[in-house]
Amino acid sequence: MALGLKEILGFIKIEHTLFSLPFVFIGALLAGGATWQQLAWILVAAIGARGLAMSLNRIIDKEIDAANPRTASRHLPSGIMTMGTAWSLSAIFLGMLLIGAWMLNEVALMMAWLPVACFFIYPYMKRKTWACHIWLGLCLGLAPAGAWLGIVGGELGWAAITKGHWWPEIFLVSIAVGIWIAAFDIGYALMDIDSDRANNIHSFPAAFGPETTIRTALFLTMAWGILLIFVNQEIWWLVATGASVALNLLVLSKGSSNMGAFQNNLFRASVSTGWLLLSGLALDLFLS
């Protein structure tokens, strides 16, 4: 079956790119001195990484998706897309990631194995442990670090990593992003709690229940907010951090009694988080 652009974008959930993209640019801004050409190649690599992560997740989770009524209509379990096509798309996205990293610098290219390995491992984590949400956070937490390395790796080489130039800004941002994604993902997983328990999927909600899930998400939200305060103390960054934390806490504190509304609001709040933070950082840099 011939697939159009709409089907391919639906397969990789292109709208979820909105989660990681602002943090990619935050990493580039924190590196300083990025050219438009470098930003363009970072964007190519980021789109490739995101597409690869989703493609691998869909391929490895085909049987799990087929057993869940919410996901049974996805491209692979429904037969809209063949496994061959899915693997071909994975290869294309991997190529984008590698070409983007190669055009940036040698260190970025040589470190490209790390996100690829993380992406491949993630789908298997949910079969073993509720810590899969933390692992997903690790995957997304690599976004600002990778963009930062794409800028500074050309000048500093391996010293960018070995000499600790990533401390503290990039480290704190990356850890905060990981915690933020974990908080979002355990809340988002509430919609599948019954299916996860029935199919032996080890999600946090399936293991601990809705109330503990919401309390944990609230705690994690405050944790990533505190970490971001220590990234820098410029006014617009602090305003953006405060607004992001408040927005996420508001959504989570309302609970999940109306699951449809909760998931929509949680998704919108999470997408807004990165763009608010990127805007705050950009304003501080522009006005300084």
Alpha-carbon distance 187 to 261, whole Å? 13
CATH number at residue 248: 1.10.357.140
* Total number of domains constituting the chain: 1
Per-residue pLDDT band at 65 (split at 50, 70, 90): confident
The predicted structure's pLDDT at residue 2: 52
Residues 75, 234: Cα–Cα separation, whole Å: 45
Q: pLDDT band at residue 3, thresholds of 50, 70 and 90?
A: low
Higher pLDDT, 227 or 65: 227
Across the range 97-125, mean pLDDT stands at 97
72: domain range?
Answer: 7-287
* Residue 2, in any domain of the structure: no
User: Which residues, other chains included, contact 285 with Cβ-Cβ below 8 Å and sequence gap of 6+?
Assistant: 29
- Predicted confidence at residue 73, as pLDDT, reads 85
- Burial code (b: 16+ CB inside 10 Å, e: under 16) for 231-257 equals bbebebbbebbebbbebbbebbeeebe
193 within some domain: yes
Mean of all residue pLDDT scores within the chain? 92
Percent of the chain with pLDDT over 90: 79
The predicted model gives 218-226 an average pLDDT of 98
Q: Is the pTM of this model over 0.85?
A: yes
**Count of residues in the chain:** 288
Interval 152-196: pLDDT, tens: 999 999 999 999 999 999 999 999 999 999 999 999 999 999 989
Q: pLDDT category, 94, cuts 50, 70, 90?
A: very high
Percentage above 70 pLDDT, the chain: 96
In the predicted model, is pLDDT for residue 262 greater than 80? yes
Amino acid identity for residue 256 in this structure: S
Residue 240 lies inside a defined structural domain of this protein? yes
The rounded distance, in Å, linking the Cα atoms of 28 and 14 is 21
Tokens read off for 159? 């010293």
Structure tokens at 79: 């037969």
Q: Is the pLDDT of residue 147 over 70?
A: yes
Closest CA to 28 of 287, 281, 284, 283: 281
Residue 1 forms part of a structural domain: no
- 169, part of any domain: yes
Q: Give the 3-state DSSP-derived string for 70-99, with helices as H, strands as E and coil as C.
A: CCCCCHHHHCCCCHHHHHHHHHHHHHHHHH
- pLDDT in the model for residue 171: 97
